[in-house]
Amino acid sequence: MAATSAVEMRTSRHSVEKNREADPVVAENSLLKRYGPLMNLVDLASMLDRSPDGLRVTLRSSGEWVEKINAARLYLGRRVYFRTAEIAEALGIR
What pLDDT shows up at residue 24?
64
In 1-94, the DSSP E strands lie at 38-40, 73-76, 79-83
Amino acid making up residue 83: R
Mean pLDDT by 10 residues, the chain (94 residues): 45 43 73 93 95 96 93 96 94 79
pLDDT at 28: 82
User: What pTM value is reported for the model?
Assistant: 0.70
Domain boundaries defined on the chain: 2-90
